[in-house]
Chain A
Amino acid sequence: MIGVGVGVSELWLMLAALVILVLGSILSFKHSKLGFYTAIVALILGLLACRSTYYGSFIFAIGIINLVSLEAIKSEIKGVDYGLVGLMALATMYIFNTSDLSLVLASLVLVSVPTYVLVMIREGGANVELGVKYIVFMVFATVLFMIGAIILAAEIESMYIIGYVMLILGLALEVGVAPLHVWVPDVFASADPIPISIIGSMAKILPFIAAIKILISTSCPLTETITLFTAILAGISMFTGNIGALTAKEHGRVLGYSTVANMGYVLSCIVAIANPEFICVALTGGLLMLFSNAAGKIGFFNAIKGKGAYSPLMYILAFSFIGVPPLLGFWGKLFIILSLVEVGYIWLAVILVINSAISVPYYTRLARELGIGWKANIANFVCIAVVVITLVTIVPPNWFVEGVKILVQNMGLAIGV
């Protein structure tokens, strides 16, 4: 049994973080700032408990930026929203620590459920209609994912393909992979930009890691055949997202389609898990892609909220999305392409490159339309922070690959025990 007995202190740290978070949320009804500070303390504890410093640091940074960006909105649940974001970040940090399937699924729920509340946040009320639309699909997605995971964990060979397809469909619906993406453009266009910047960043990371962990632990000879399904889905998602974004006018909608495309890129790295040799490269690509997506989405949505942000920052984020070296997005795509080539999915790698080219017009349009002169506001400071994250790969990310090698060793789940 992998992982049992390991990391007792990590568990205590996590529990302490959760307790602080809950207390902070409760007390924030009195003083809303308390929720913010307790969330930061909880994130620090979570970072201490996280097994990979680099991975943990990225999540920590994204979490902190999400918390800060909440300052830009006056919600009716001010204070609790910090707690919700903190909860999501803690679960995302913890996912690599556990080898227990139930905890993995619980983490997924912990990331998913807070978004049900967050999506409805708006200044001077709640966006209930949108919330209903979102929750319907999320619940459906979580159910599909869980049933798929359980079927796979049961290790019944005759059910493997159905389990695999359900898990991938659940994941696709959860993160917004085409053709199950219908909710994404609407939600991204209609909701308040700040909560969407959280849903579009932090909430996308854990479902992928959970899926990869489950799929690696349950892989069998059939995996190699059924990955074609994932590859096709990834290809469809890339084309749908990028081409859809070309003519979309509202910025939020463009970013919605951009998410569909990016989730297609990340999904394609799941193709590589059929071959254990290349898991490390694929996971590196997937994680860097998720981080670059998170950084970009946070930056752009905050710019929408702030009615524009400093132009150079917008362009850096756009170039990262496009995949211009040495920005974060470039390395994400590069590692995904490398893993695809290694496992023989060259056609998918070619599709990824073509899609990067298709995406150029709308990202530059976005940067041009959202780029304005310098103003000292939250949007700009948040953008500076995410641009720093985007620029971190000026030092080629060999260091991150080393970190991922350690993570890969903790990928297995204690299934069947």
Chain B
Amino acid sequence: MNEWILFLILFLAPIISSVPIVLAYKSKEWVNRLPPLSVLGIFISVLVSIYIFFCAPTDLPACRFSYPWIPELGINFVFITDYLSIHMGVVTTLIAFFIAIYGLDYMKGDYRLPWYWFFFNLFTASMLLVVYSDNLFLLFVGWEGLGAASWGLIGHWYKDDDKELTYVGTVDRKVGPLNYFWPPSSGGWRAISTIRFGDVPMFIAIAAIWVFAGNLNISQIGWGTLFGTVGFAGTIIILLFFLIGLFTKSAQVPFSEWLMTAMTGPTTVSALLHSATMVAAGAYVFMRITWYIEPWTLNGVPGLETVYIIALFVGLISGLYGALVALGMLEKKVLLAATTMSSLGLMFGATAASYWIHAEVNGMNIAVLVGFWYLATHAFAKASLFLVSGHLIHATHTRFAVGDLEFGKKMKVAFATTIIATTFLVGIPPLTAYWIKSAMDHVMEHLATEYSILPLILLLATSIIYSAVLARFMSTNFIKGEKPHVAHVEGGGLMKAGYVMMVSMLFVIFYLIFTRSELKEFVHAGFEPLSIAVGIAALASFGIALYKPRMPSMQKFSTVLSDRMYFPYLNDYFCPKIGFFISRICDCVNRGLDGFCNIWVMPGLFKRISGSIRLIQTGQLNRYVQIILSLVMAFLIIATIVMGVMLV
């Protein structure tokens, strides 16, 4: 089979399968019947991605497939099936598929199903384009598709009519001049505006890479030569501009706010957004370019170290900030959102550490491998937790954390899933993430000798707090939370199936860690004293938070954290102020220009000149003849004089 057909099916199956429900939007009957077709489209993508995983070549140049688009500009449909993309492709399609199955139940009876399924499938297809694209321009197309779909999905409940379930924050709460709650429409807007803020510099960076490197294929760009051409400042500007796009997409500080209010969307959207698509796209693209830049081989290149230091600290600080903020959160989904941001920070941090890490396994840098496998583990675990949250919101009719042990016993499957997902994710030995976190500890430990000990400290602090946060999530929702006022615990078969399948993937990754040759280093790292110590600390932190999820004596500190350290002020107060200031200046300039060109100066001037031109139109023939004769005579006299002068 030709590979292009495979790629075509991979990207188009989700989109095409969601078109019928859009076309049938007027028929309620068909709208309720057609969602399985959209899920089928995603299932086809699952099959194709698995086929690619097992059958596609992974070594360059055989793994690069190029089809002409605008060959004159070096812009082509270029897909790559290297180690990163084949794994990420399967992770993406599987997660989207499980969530889609869950969504069949969760979204039943919703008032905007065609909208939901179209954007859900577009979201998946766009992410797959980002995953498999080698050409930066093509990747950017998928990137923008993610942005558009996220706007559509986060603001899905655009009517803002369900304050209990769809808002973020305590309704009617004010902090200073600011309303501290956000409806879905505001959530969608905050997402798209933040992301667009990052996309523009990213696009400029891509343009600059094209100008200076003459190629946009990530695996073909001569990165070393490019950095040599653009010099110290050029390297920093291009890479930082590119990174701003990734940071905004992955909600790293200071661009994290949109992610918190993205929780206004349906839970399925939150699950997809937080695991394999959107936020993961930023971290994934950072891994992809790092994979081919190979910064560990370019240690002497001026400017590159600065960029990787910035990425390292933005990641680790985001990691700590996210974990801390999550500690104070009262809403199930927002708590998980903050931990997602934290995890993404760790992925950025680990990948950025590759600059100082020269260790390779099977030709792959260990730091990037750590970043990627943490991404995959986090994706399945976090998606499971989100899906459980959605089920809990359905059951309890509140987005806040409620649930005692009695409730937990009634929601056995959800409870069990939460136990697995949390313990497998926080790095408790010997569960899945422990081995990956150990390798991460090992990387940062190495950094302590090569560069600074600060990254290791940040990582350890984040790991311990993170563990407590997820324990708190479990405790407040299933063990020690308030008794829910409402408890619809029956039904939800497809929802349960969705998160059970999702969480079971953590066992698959567990199995892979012990069987894949390139992951052996993770296992070795797990037996290092530091890793064991960190693992025990995470376990202790988990246990304490499970036992005592709330500390009334720390209420004030907790409020500061749950208010997200007042970062919303940046988004909702300072940025708009700056925006209004700029718009006022623009308005003044506009008024000036309008006055000059449209209202006063120019129209007056033209009116006067026009009047003068028309003044000679008296309609009298004799006057016209006089004018014409005198003009002709004048021209002829001038011509004669000129002729005479020239002859002389």
Residues of A at the B interface (CB closer than 8 Å) are 132-133, 136-137, 140, 144, 158-162, 164-166, 169, 173, 179-180, 182-183, 185-186, 222, 229, 240, 243-248, 358
Interface: B533 (CB within 8 A): no
Stretch of B161-169, B560-568, B604-612 at the chain-chain interface: B604-612
Stretch of B141-149, B225-233, B636-644 at the chain-chain interface: B636-644
How far apart are B297's CB and chain A's nearest CB, in angstroms? 50
B604-648: CB near A (< 8 Å → 1, else 0) gives 001101110110110101001101100110011001101100110
Residue of B nearest to A173 (CB): B628
Our pick among B606, B624, B639, B647 for the contact of A243 (Cβ within 8 Å) is B606
Which residue, B607, B611, B625, B632, has most C-beta atoms of chain A within 10 A? B632
- Residues 19-42 (chain B) with a chain A CB within 8 angstroms: none
Can you add 19 more A-B contacts, CB < 8 Å, to A136-B625, A186-B619? A133-B621, A136-B621, A158-B643, A160-B643, A161-B646, A162-B636, A162-B640, A173-B632, A182-B616, A183-B624, A185-B617, A222-B646, A243-B613, A244-B610, A244-B614, A245-B610, A247-B607, A248-B614, A358-B606
Residue of B nearest to A162 (CB): B639
Q: B617 and A247: CB pair below 8 A? A: no
How far apart are B639's CB and chain A's nearest CB, in angstroms? 4
Chain A residues in 8 Å Cβ range of B606:
243, 246-247, 358
Chain B residues in 8 Å Cβ range of A244:
610, 613-614
Q: A240 and B613: CB pair below 8 A? A: yes
Q: A247 and B611: CB pair below 8 A? A: yes
Chain B residues in 8 Å Cβ range of A160:
643
A173–B625 alpha-carbon span in the complex (Å): 12
Q: B627 and A182: CB pair below 8 A? A: yes
Q: A243 and B632: CB pair below 8 A? A: no
Q: B614 and A180: CB pair below 8 A? A: no
A166–B632 alpha-carbon span in the complex (Å): 8
Given contacts A182-B624, A247-B611, A248-B614, whether A165 and B631 have CB atoms under 8 Å apart is no
Chain B residues in 8 Å Cβ range of A240:
613
How far apart are A249's CB and chain B's nearest CB, in angstroms? 10
Q: B632 and A161: CB pair below 8 A? A: no
A142–B609 alpha-carbon span in the complex (Å): 31
Chain B residues in 8 Å Cβ range of A144:
632
Q: B616 and A161: CB pair below 8 A? A: no
Size bracket, chain B contacts: 20 to 34
**A-B contacts, 10 listed (Cβ < 8 Å):** A137-B624, A144-B632, A160-B643, A161-B646, A164-B639, A166-B636, A182-B624, A244-B613, A247-B607, A247-B611
How far apart are B625's CB and chain A's nearest CB, in angstroms? 7
Chain B residues in 8 Å Cβ range of A246:
606-607, 610
Given contacts A158-B643, A161-B646, A246-B607, whether A185 and B636 have CB atoms under 8 Å apart is no
A161–B636 alpha-carbon span in the complex (Å): 9
How far apart are A24's CB and chain B's nearest CB, in angstroms? 35
Given contacts A158-B647, A162-B639, A240-B613, whether A169 and B632 have CB atoms under 8 Å apart is yes
A229–B611 alpha-carbon span in the complex (Å): 26
Residue of A nearest to B619 (CB): A186
Chain A residues in 8 Å Cβ range of B625:
136
B307-338: CB near A (< 8 Å → 1, else 0) gives 00000000000000000000000000000000
Residues of B at the A interface (CB closer than 8 Å) are 606-607, 609-611, 613-614, 616-617, 619, 621, 624-625, 627-628, 631-632, 635-636, 639-640, 642-643, 646-647
Which residue, A136, A160, A161, has most C-beta atoms of chain B within 10 A? A161
Our pick among A133, A179, A248 for the contact of B631 (Cβ within 8 Å) is A179
How far apart are A149's CB and chain B's nearest CB, in angstroms? 15
How far apart are A296's CB and chain B's nearest CB, in angstroms? 21
A200–B358 alpha-carbon span in the complex (Å): 80
How far apart are A102's CB and chain B's nearest CB, in angstroms? 24
Chain A residues in 8 Å Cβ range of B613:
240, 243-244
Chain B residues in 8 Å Cβ range of A140:
628
A169–B616 alpha-carbon span in the complex (Å): 19
Chain A residues in 8 Å Cβ range of B646:
161, 222
How far apart are B628's CB and chain A's nearest CB, in angstroms? 6
How far apart are A222's CB and chain B's nearest CB, in angstroms? 8
Our pick among A132, A161, A162 for the contact of B621 (Cβ within 8 Å) is A132
A395–B640 alpha-carbon span in the complex (Å): 47
A186–B614 alpha-carbon span in the complex (Å): 10
A390–B25 alpha-carbon span in the complex (Å): 41
Q: A243 and B621: CB pair below 8 A? A: no
Chain A residues in 8 Å Cβ range of B640:
162
How far apart are B615's CB and chain A's nearest CB, in angstroms? 10
Given contacts A136-B621, A185-B617, A246-B606, whether A161 and B643 have CB atoms under 8 Å apart is yes
Chain B residues in 8 Å Cβ range of A132:
621
How far apart are A260's CB and chain B's nearest CB, in angstroms? 9
Chain B residues in 8 Å Cβ range of A161:
639, 642-643, 646
Q: B614 and A247: CB pair below 8 A? A: yes
A240–B609 alpha-carbon span in the complex (Å): 9
Top 4 closest A-B pairs, CB basis? A247-B610, A165-B639, A244-B613, A161-B643
Which residue, A144, A182, A185, A229, has most C-beta atoms of chain B within 10 A? A182
A182–B642 alpha-carbon span in the complex (Å): 27
Chain A residues in 8 Å Cβ range of B610:
243-248
Which residue, B610, B631, B636, B647, has most C-beta atoms of chain A within 10 A? B610
Q: A165 and B607: CB pair below 8 A? A: no
Chain B residues in 8 Å Cβ range of A179:
631
How far apart are A88's CB and chain B's nearest CB, in angstroms? 24
How far apart are B596's CB and chain A's nearest CB, in angstroms? 15
How far apart are A80's CB and chain B's nearest CB, in angstroms? 26
Residue of A nearest to B632 (CB): A169
Q: B631 and A180: CB pair below 8 A? A: yes
How far apart are B101's CB and chain A's nearest CB, in angstroms? 50
A259–B617 alpha-carbon span in the complex (Å): 16
How far apart are A16's CB and chain B's nearest CB, in angstroms? 40
A160–B628 alpha-carbon span in the complex (Å): 22
How far apart are A400's CB and chain B's nearest CB, in angstroms? 27
A116–B614 alpha-carbon span in the complex (Å): 25
How far apart are A255's CB and chain B's nearest CB, in angstroms? 14
A162–B647 alpha-carbon span in the complex (Å): 13
Q: A180 and B628: CB pair below 8 A? A: yes
How far apart are B118's CB and chain A's nearest CB, in angstroms? 33
Chain B residues in 8 Å Cβ range of A183:
624
A159–B640 alpha-carbon span in the complex (Å): 9
How far apart are A137's CB and chain B's nearest CB, in angstroms? 7
Q: B628 and A185: CB pair below 8 A? A: no
A160–B642 alpha-carbon span in the complex (Å): 11
A256–B621 alpha-carbon span in the complex (Å): 17
How far apart are B366's CB and chain A's nearest CB, in angstroms? 57
Q: A162 and B632: CB pair below 8 A? A: no
Chain A residues in 8 Å Cβ range of B631:
179-180
Q: B635 and A169: CB pair below 8 A? A: yes
How far apart are A85's CB and chain B's nearest CB, in angstroms? 27
Chain B residues in 8 Å Cβ range of A182:
616-617, 624, 627-628
Q: A137 and B628: CB pair below 8 A? A: yes
Chain A residues in 8 Å Cβ range of B619:
186
Residue of A nearest to B625 (CB): A136
A158–B643 alpha-carbon span in the complex (Å): 7
Q: B624 and A133: CB pair below 8 A? A: yes
Which residue, B607, B614, B636, B646, has most C-beta atoms of chain A within 10 A? B614
